[in-house]
Amino acid sequence: MRPQELNLLIVFDAIMTEGSISRAADRLAMTQPAVSNAVSRMRVAWKDDLFVKDGRNIKPTLRAENMWAQIKAPISELSSAIKPVSFEPATVQRTFRIALADIVAQMLLVPLRKRIENEAPNINLHCVPYTIVNTVEVLESANVDLVLGATAMMPGNIRTEYLFTPKYVCAMRVGHVLAKKTLSLEEFGGAEHLLVSLSGDTVGFTDEVLAQKGLSRRIAATVNQFSLVPSMLENSDLIAVAPLGALSASIAEGKLSGTRPPIELPPTAANMYWHKRQDKDPGVIWLRENVKEILVEAETENIKRASPHLWNFN
């Protein structure tokens, strides 16, 4: 391969990673016209349009996506070997992208932003929606640097680090007929349930456990955000099984009542995921360390705040 083509591959990788000519230029410390000129040379050399306009953004062609699938890992390894990435939080200019659900965002984003302002003022943090089914895709495509969620099995190129195991509570409005210390399976199964479904499914793992016992429940309403659960419960006869983190403030303030679910739910760990190509990236390492510290502290505080106000919980 000629040196000119290797340079084009590096520019190509930056465009695919950033999804934007201008952001790729910033990443490479080049001017936007210089990157656009490189794209023109790519099109001639590789006999393909490579990128087409998609509104204000650009969209890679199938040829570009296939090429990047083959070169992104080797390019990353070559770049690290030739010029190890440096990361000085106080001076670095960088953008991180995290995929996370709103319940995790509530626990993480305010304290993380404070740390960025104090330690790394030139860092940008962009959040994208998380669903349990797209973790591998968004990491392999480099659309995000981290995924925070509860996905189970991961392929070997996706790294995993345990964060915490959420505690689940059955919650309802204060004064609800089921707001009591002990909730029977019959009462639980006969209630009208609210389900948080990030994927749109109307069956959750609570339903799977019930099915193993030959039981079922009525899902009377679904939402795709945990932040909606407190107000939905406070203003209806719905009940919900949800992570304590989504409800701890409302429970501690006396707006909701909560008790132990009448079934044993399998523990589902909250984890942090990233692609192996970023194993040694000092910026992503810095991000991971801060995210883990903040989330572990937040979950501990959620339990401490809500536990004294819960029925039959400890």
How far apart, in whole angstroms, are the C-alpha atoms of residue 233 and residue 226? 12
Question: What length does the chain have?
Answer: 314
Boundaries of domain holding 26: 3-82
How far apart, in whole angstroms, are the C-alpha atoms of residue 81 and residue 89? 22
Q: Are residues 129 and 154 in the same domain?
A: yes
Please give the structure tokens belonging to residue 309. Answer: 């106000």
Q: Looking at residue 297, what is its pLDDT?
A: 97
The answer to whether residue 29 scores a pLDDT higher than 80 is no
Q: Are residues 180 and 251 in the same domain?
A: yes
Q: Are residues 185 and 252 in the same domain?
A: yes
The number of domains in the chain is 3
Report the run of H or E that residue 110 belongs to, with start and end: helix 102-119
Q: What is the CATH number of the domain that holds 51?
A: 1.10.10.10
- Whether 314 is in a domain gets the answer no
- Whether 231 is in a domain gets the answer yes
- Whether 103 is in a domain gets the answer yes
Q: Dump pLDDT digits (tens) for 32-62.
A: 888 899 999 999 989 999 999 887 778 899 9
Q: Are residues 19 and 73 in the same domain?
A: yes
Q: Are residues 148 and 280 in the same domain?
A: yes
| Pairing between β-strand 94-100 and β-strand 240-243 as defined by DSSP bridges | unpaired
- Whether 88 is in a domain gets the answer no
Q: Are residues 52 and 175 in the same domain?
A: no
- Whether 89 is in a domain gets the answer no
Is the pTM for the entire model greater than 0.85? Answer: no
Most confident of 16-20, 148-152, 181-185, 228-232: 228-232
Q: Dump pLDDT digits (tens) for 101-147.
A: 999 999 999 999 999 999 999 999 999 988 777 888 888 877 899 99
Q: Dump pLDDT digits (tens) for 56-110.
A: 778 899 999 899 888 887 877 666 555 555 689 999 888 899 999 999 999 999 9
- Whether 109 is in a domain gets the answer yes
The answer to whether residue 156 scores a pLDDT higher than 60 is yes
Q: Looking at residue 247, what is its pLDDT?
A: 96
